[in-house]
Amino acid sequence: MEFNNLSSAQKDVLREIGNIGAGNAATSLSMLLNKRIEMKVPSVSIVNYDELMELIGGPEETIVGLMFRIRGEAPGTVYLLLKVEEAEYLVRKLTGDPEFSLLNNEQNNEMAISALHEIGNIVTGSYLTALSDFTNINMQPSIPYLGIDMAGAILTVGLVELSQVTDFAIIIDTEINRNNESNEGIKGNFFLLPDPDSLTKIFTALGINYDE
């Protein structure tokens, strides 16, 4: 199956999925931080691998990536991607350590990693619950996998399943934003990459014919 020719109705459905999922996720993040969180209208893009890396600043950009495999009827991969500063902000906020730095502070890393895992669990959990309710397809997140490294290295992990079938990835990208009033806050991206066969299942569940 190649992804190159999705109809506009199909793209609308995927965008709606991104919307519902990230809406829920933003709400739980907002509760966690006790701050207002905004999100952008999701975009659905069909991109080749290099274009995927460019979406978050190029393959060499250092990012904090929390990856979850989705298990169940429609398997796939979901990423919560944060810039290093954003992840540091979250850890500082949750651990109460204002000095915390992710890349230099060796001794505190265990605590930080555990805090980031927990954020990932909560936020991605609500993302997938919303998706699961909307499509009526059972989706379970795996445990979180955390990587602080080059975007290329982190994102290719999610491409392995896909890449045996196609040279393109379908990305449902939702950006969450902090409230503009203050400099501190959180900005991140959700990337949802359905496995190739899952797309058909999602469309069928929502009454959209894949071949239309």
Closer CB to another protein, 49 or 210, in the complex: 49
Closer CB to another protein, 145 or 210, in the complex: 145
How far apart are CB 145 and another protein at their closest, in Å?
A: 4
Q: Which span (52-60, 114-122, 181-189, 198-206) binds another protein, by CB under 8 A?
A: 52-60
User: Should residue 167 be labelled a site residue for another protein when binding is judged by CB under 8 A?
Assistant: yes
Helices (H), the chain: 8-33, 49-54, 84-95, 109-135, 151-157, 160-163, 196-205
Within the chain, how many helices (H) and strands (E) appear? 7, 8
What are 78's strand-pairing partners? 68, 192
How far apart are CB 17 and another protein at their closest, in Å?
A: 24
User: Should residue 57 be labelled a site residue for another protein when binding is judged by CB under 8 A?
Assistant: no
Residue 177 CA, distance from chain mean position: 14
User: Should residue 163 be labelled a site residue for another protein when binding is judged by CB under 8 A?
Assistant: yes
| Cα–Cα distance for residue pair 93/100, rounded to 1 Å | 10
How far apart are CB 69 and another protein at their closest, in Å?
A: 9
202 is written with which tokens? 């999602």
Q: Which span (21-29, 34-42, 55-63, 183-191) binds another protein, by CB under 8 A?
A: 55-63
The residue within the footprint of another protein, chosen from 35, 97, 145, 210 (CB under 8 A), is 145
64 is written with which tokens? 């904090």
| Cα–Cα distance for residue pair 107/111, rounded to 1 Å | 9
| Cα–Cα distance for residue pair 147/106, rounded to 1 Å | 15
* Sequence-ordered list of residues with C-beta below 8 angstroms from that of 144, at least 6 positions apart, any chain: 66, 67, 68, 116, 117, 120, 121, 124
Provide the mask over 12-51, with x wherever binding to another protein is found by CB under 8 A and - wherever it is not: -------------------------------------xx-
User: Should residue 101 be labelled a site residue for another protein when binding is judged by CB under 8 A?
Assistant: no
Residues at the interface with another protein (CB under 8 A): 49-50, 53, 58-60, 62, 67, 103, 143, 145-154, 156-157, 159-161, 163-167
